[in-house]
Amino acid sequence: MGGLTVLHECLVTLPHEDFLYLGDGARLPYGPRPLEEIRRFAGEIASYLEGQGVKLIVAACNSATAAALADLQRRLSVPVIGVLAPEAHAAVLATRNRRIGLLATEATVASRRYPELVAALDAGAEVVAVACPRLVPLIEGDDVFGEELTEAVREYAAPLKDAGVDTVILGCTHYPLIKPILQRVFGRGVTLVFSAEETAREAAETLARKSIENDVGREGTYRFLTTGDPELFREMGRRFLQLPIDVAEHVEIAALEAVA
């Protein structure tokens, strides 16, 4: 579901392009899974999308990007971009004291990709990472702004506040939905970084650089696939996409495994 927050920015930035979104509802959440398993799932999905004739793939999931981006870029014939590098870049630009916090899934934290990306941009910057296993289930729950979620945010924010970070990367595509809670807990003195806009801009620049963009005068389409329950995807997906989802088509896991 979280990737829909990235899709929203892509639809706004690239209204003339056609989008095919595949959400792996049958195997969520990815965050607690081993990196090798996430890498396999991402490979199956990307190979399936490539078989559908797409010209660019956006890995709109931090865990999948952390686990699989380099592997996907080596294996596929179409360009593949992820969501980590734009956030690392934005965080390095935003921080004033060079202490950067990271809230993310267990898999993303375990990959250590964010510290590597930040160090490549500023070797003197420090990244304090906190895994947040409770957040995704709570955000996808019935009471997204309930007290339990607020308490979880306070718990995960505490070590970052103790470390004196002035910038926090929201390292999961679910987290923008609770940005008001996060900002309230951290205060206005802390910059929250979530770069769906940067990712959409990178997609636009990649299409233009390779001369494979659509005519800007047309109106693009978007289509949704899910390995989970299509009705659940439609209902919950609207919360993340902030646009109507009229139809979601079901894809069997076996169909993904067959093309990997």
Residues labelled catalytic: 61, 172
Give me 12's structure tokens.
């706004």
Separation between Cα atoms, residue 19 and residue 54, nearest integer Å: 9
Separation between Cα atoms, residue 186 and residue 192, nearest integer Å: 9
- One-letter amino acid at 32 equals P
203 class by beta-carbon count within 10 Å (0-12 exposed, 13-18 middle, 19+ buried): buried
Give me 32's structure tokens.
């607690």
Give me 195's structure tokens.
């770069």
Separation between Cα atoms, residue 122 and residue 105, nearest integer Å: 23
**Please, are residues 94 and 193 in contact by the beta-carbon 8 Å criterion?**
yes
Separation between Cα atoms, residue 167 and residue 192, nearest integer Å: 6
Give me 179's structure tokens.
């940005």
